[in-house]
Amino acid sequence: GAVVSQHPSRVICKSGTSVKIECRSLDFQATTMFWYRQFPKQSLMLMATSNEGSKATYEQGVEKDKFLINHASLTLSTLTVTSAHPEDSSFYICSALSGTPSYNEQFFGPGTRLTVL
Amino acid sequence: DAKTTQPTSMDCAEGRAANLPCNHSTISGNEYVYWYRQIHSQGPQYIIHGLKNNETNEMASLIITEDRKSSTLILPHATLRDTAVYYCIVRGASSGGGADGLTFGKGTHLIIQP
């Protein structure tokens, strides 16, 4: 099946700093990628939809100026958590869409665990 | 997308078949039933999906009732590595529904006992 990677797998940063997380589709091109967030003992929550060459679409309640998404190529989307605070500590997971307009699949990355001190 | 209901947790003995139910009584005619699982601290993994016919692949079987209001994921010979949270998701496969992000419920925490 299609492979999606994320980097880094875990990151610890100080409060107020920015952190960039990369999501790559390794063996296919993805015009659409998604970013999810998962807090401990909770389910995945969709944060935003990232479309190559255009602005991301954010879910209600997700601050677009805090979570910057760039989808500059068909194989790479990045999520930057700006001015991170302890409440941003979470498991961030991306997925990439593969397939045709009429039928497609989402393939998930392994996740990035962010800890903000 | 239609809402799904799953038991919070289930136990299954190693080597036995694990049967995970899912109710989706509001499913519409063009919506598929998808199953993903998430092993602790990993990204979700696709298992199987179906529309109305039963489906089988190397990982599992999916049984969908004739009225499509419920389905069962079957892991035929569960192993300890199958311990995970299993998510049943209903979604459309058209360009509109299929290109949307997935809505994850709470899923079923399946624990395989040695």
- pLDDT-derived band at B99 (thresholds 50, 70, 90) equals low
Kindly list the distances between the CA atom of residue A9 and the CA atoms of A12, A22, A78, A94, A111, in Å, as whole numbers in the listed order.
Answer: 11, 10, 14, 12, 6
Contact A19, A81 (CB under 8 A): yes
- Cross-chain residue pair B101–A36, CB shorter than 8 Å: yes
- CA dist B78 and B1 (Å) reads 30
- Cβ contact B43–A102 (<8 Å): no
- Which residues 4-43 of chain A have a CB within 8 Å of chain B? 4, 6, 32, 34, 36, 43
pLDDT at residue B95 above 90?
no
Residue of chain B with shortest Cα separation from A48: B101
Q: Using the CB atoms, write b or e for B60-87: b if 16+ within 10 Å.
A: bbbbbeeebebbebbbeebeeebbbbbb
CB contact under 8 A, B42 and A111: yes
Token pair in block for residue A34:
């998604």
**Would the CA dihedral through A38, A42, A43, A45 be positive or negative?**
negative
Contact list in A for residue B100 (CB cut-off 8 A) is 49
DSSP string covering B8-20, please? SEEEEETTSPEEE
The answer to whether A53 contacts chain B (CB < 8 Å) is: no
In chain B, what residues touch A93 (CB-CB under 8 Å)?
Answer: 43-44
Kindly list the residues of chain B whose beta carbon comes within 8 Å of any beta carbon in chain A.
36, 38, 41-46, 87, 93-95, 98-107
Structure tokens at A32: 């659409």
Nearest chain A residue to B106, by CA? A43
Please give the Cα distance from B34 to B49 (Å, whole number). Answer: 4
**A60-77: pLDDT as tens digits:** 999 999 999 999 899 999
Backbone angles phi, psi at B4, to 5 degrees: -125, 155
**pLDDT tens digit string along B45-83?**
999 999 998 999 999 999 999 999 999 999 999 999 999
Smallest CA–CA distance from B40 into chain A, residue? A41
Q: How many CB atoms are located within 10 Å of the residue B59 CB?
A: 15
Which segments of chain A have a pLDDT < 70?
1, 100-103
